[in-house]
């Protein structure tokens, strides 16, 4: 069998057999389990969900997360949590998010008093 001759001397030095078919297929769990990653860019800011990593332990998940989601600009903290420890509501209950669209009474902008004050003052001055 011939080995790979590459432009990359490191690859050539590996003596990789060209047509080696002996690799066993990977099985599920060969890439461990997944962790969700929460990233804080600035002290005082929120931790935001940025994605996930595959890792064998929380410690390794943290290292991978730092490399994957914190290699640019600034980071002040990262949280990782096993995906399987996150609780979500399934699609079959999606109707629970349906809601009354009219919720102005919960908004600051709903409460307007100025015109009533102006009318009150006008009445007062006229009398």
Partner 1 sequence: MYGGGYIFDKPLQDHKDDDDPVKLAEFEARIDRGEKVEPHDWMPFEYRRQLIRLIEQHAHSEIIGALPEGTWITRAPGFRRKLALAAKVQDEVGHAQLLYNAAETLGKSREEMINDLISGKSKYSNVFNYPAKTWADTAVIAWLIDAGAIVNQVTNSKGSYAPYCRALERICQEESFHLKYGYDAVVHLATGTPAQREVLQDALNRWWPPIMHFFGPPDNASVHGEKLMRWKVKMASNDDMRQQFLNMYVPKIWELELTLPDPNLRKNPETRRWEYTEPDWDEFKRVINGDGPCNKERLAVRRTAEERGKWVREALLRPETQYSVPLS
Question: Cβ distance 65 to 51 under 8 Å?
Answer: no
In whole angstroms, what is the distance from residue 5 CA to residue 120 CA? 92
CB of 117 to partner 1, least distance (A): 43
Q: Exposed, middle or buried, 102 (CB in 10 Å: 0-12/13-18/19+)?
A: exposed
99 is a contact residue toward partner 1 (CB under 8 A)? no
In whole angstroms, what is the distance from residue 127 CA to residue 122 CA? 9
93 is a contact residue toward partner 1 (CB under 8 A)? no
107 is a contact residue toward partner 1 (CB under 8 A)? no
Strand bridging mode 33-40 / 48-55: antiparallel
Element (H, E) at 29: none
Between 34 and 73, how does the x/- string for binding to partner 1 read (CB under 8 A)?
x-x------------xxxxxx-xx--x------xx--xx-
In whole angstroms, what is the distance from residue 82 CA to residue 34 CA? 6
Which lies closer to partner 1 via its Cβ, residue 25 or residue 101?
25
Q: Which of 13, 84, 121, 122 binds partner 1 (CB under 8 A)?
A: 84
Structure tokens at 27: 């099985």
Stretch that binds partner 1, among 16-24, 40-48, 97-105, 106-114 (CB under 8 A): 16-24
Residues that bind partner 1 in the complex, under the rule CB under 8 A: 4, 6-8, 10-11, 14, 16-20, 23, 25-34, 36, 49-54, 56-57, 60, 67-68, 71-72, 82-84, 86, 88, 90-91
């Amino acid at each position: 069998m011939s080995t790979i001759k590459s432009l990359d001397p490191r690859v050539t030095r590996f003596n990789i057999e060209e047509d080696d078919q002996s690799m066993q297929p990977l099985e599920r769990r060969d890439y461990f389990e997944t962790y969700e990653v929460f990233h804080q860019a600035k002290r005082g800011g929120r931790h935001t969900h940025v994605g996930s990593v595959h890792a064998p332990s929380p410690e390794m998940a943290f290292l991978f997360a730092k490399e994957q989601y914190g290699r640019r600009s600034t980071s002040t903290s990262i949280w990782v949590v096993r995906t399987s420890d996150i609780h979500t509501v399934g699609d079959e209950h999606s109707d629970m998010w349906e809601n009354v669209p009219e919720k102005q009474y919960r908004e600051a902008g709903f409460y307007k008093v100025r015109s009533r004050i102006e009318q009150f003052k006008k009445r007062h001055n006229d009398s």
